[in-house]
Copies of this chain bind each other. A is one copy, B any other.
Amino acid sequence: MAGATTRQQIVDAADDLFYRQGYEATSFADISAAVKISRGNFYYHFKTKDEILDAVIDKRNSDRERLLAMWNETALDPRDRIECFIKIVITNQTKIMAYGCPVGTLTTELAKLDHPSKARANQIMTLFRSWLTRQFEELGCHHQADNHALHVLSWSQGVATLALSFRDEAFVVREVHQILEWLTGISSEAH
C-alpha cells in the first residue's frame, strides 16, 4: 500500500486543478505534470478520467464531512454552527474571488456536461443542505428548517458567484453581516 501516497497525490492535484481550471479544461497531462509522474503511471492508478473525478468528489465529500463534524464539536450552539458555515465565504475569500465556490462551480459544470457523476457532485450540496437543516431544527425552526437551509445555501452560492465576478471584498463582508442579522431574527422568532 505504498502507492497510496501517489494515488493521494494524484487526487489532491486533480482536486486543485478541477477547482482552478474546471474538470473539462484539465487534462491528464496537467495532472501528471503537477504530480511529476508519467502519464503511464497515471493509468495504473486510474483507468479513466471519470474515475479520477469520482475520487475527487469522494475526497471533497469527506473533507466537507470532516469540516462539518468539526463545527459540530467546536460550536455547541446551532446558531454558532450556522455562523461558521456563513463565514467560510470570508475564510476562503481569496480562493473564492479567483475560482468561485468549489461545490457550486463543479455542480454547474457537470450539469452542463450532463456528466454521469453530476448526481454524485450534487451530493455534496445535499450534505450542506442536510447539515444546515439539522442546525435550524435544533434552533427551533421545525417546519421551516429545510427552507432556511436552502436559503443560506443559496445565499452563499450567490455571494461566491458575485465575489468571483466583481472581486469586491467589501461586498462579501456586507453580505455576511446582512445574513447574520437575518439569522438573529430567525433565532429570536423560533425561541
Residues of A with Cβ closer than 8 Å to B? 20-22, 24-25, 98-100, 104-105, 107-109, 111-113, 122, 125, 129, 147, 150-151, 153-159, 161-162, 164-166, 168, 171, 174-175, 178
A22 surroundings in chain B (CB, below 8 A): 24, 109, 112-113
Cα of A105 to Cα of B112 in the assembled complex, Å = 10
| CB <8 Å contact, A125 and B157 | no
| CB <8 Å contact, B161 and A104 | yes
| CB <8 Å contact, A100 and B105 | no
A162 surroundings in chain B (CB, below 8 A): 125, 150, 153-154, 157
Contact among B25, B107, B155, B175 for A165, CB-based, below 8 A? B107
Cα of A144 to Cα of B105 in the assembled complex, Å = 30
Chain B residue nearest in CB terms to A20? B112
